[in-house]
Amino acid sequence: MSTEHRKAPRKKILEIRKTGTWGNVQYVHILECGHSENRARASSAKELACVMCLRMKAKEIEMTSLSNPSVFDESYDTNVNIKETRAQMIRAGIASSLKISHEAIDVVMRDVNGNLEISSVVLFLSATEASRIAGLAK
């Protein structure tokens, strides 16, 4: 048992399933949280520590900190975020008006005196899409 098991929350065992063949038997303990623990022997206890619950909690904390950029950098430039949002809006508008995939559009941005600006837009069109847009589709 590692340290991780000691820190994990204890969950009630709902079911124990025996898997594997002779010499390679594993006991899968199905816990009330929906996770499972594999052990070499069936547990006689009514509860087991669920390491997956502990890992999920850690990932949950990590994901919430990623969604808040101010956690990492107090000088986070919202102007850059606004410019990138505008670039995505332009990309979406072009895709909608030309009826093409937004993946076929590349908005090129450049740094002008410390400010991000849109310098150009590149379209990647298949022959079929180009013909349709030009009005030459068959």
The token pair that represents 86 in the structure block: 């505008």
Segment 6-22, tens digit of pLDDT: 788 888 999 899 988 88
Whether the per-residue pLDDT at 118 is higher than 70: the answer is yes
Segment 88-116, tens digit of pLDDT: 888 888 888 888 888 889 988 888 887 77
Whether the per-residue pLDDT at 53 is higher than 70: the answer is yes
Q: Which residues does residue 36 pair with via DSSP β-bridges, in sequence order?
A: 30
* pTM, rounded to two decimals: 0.44
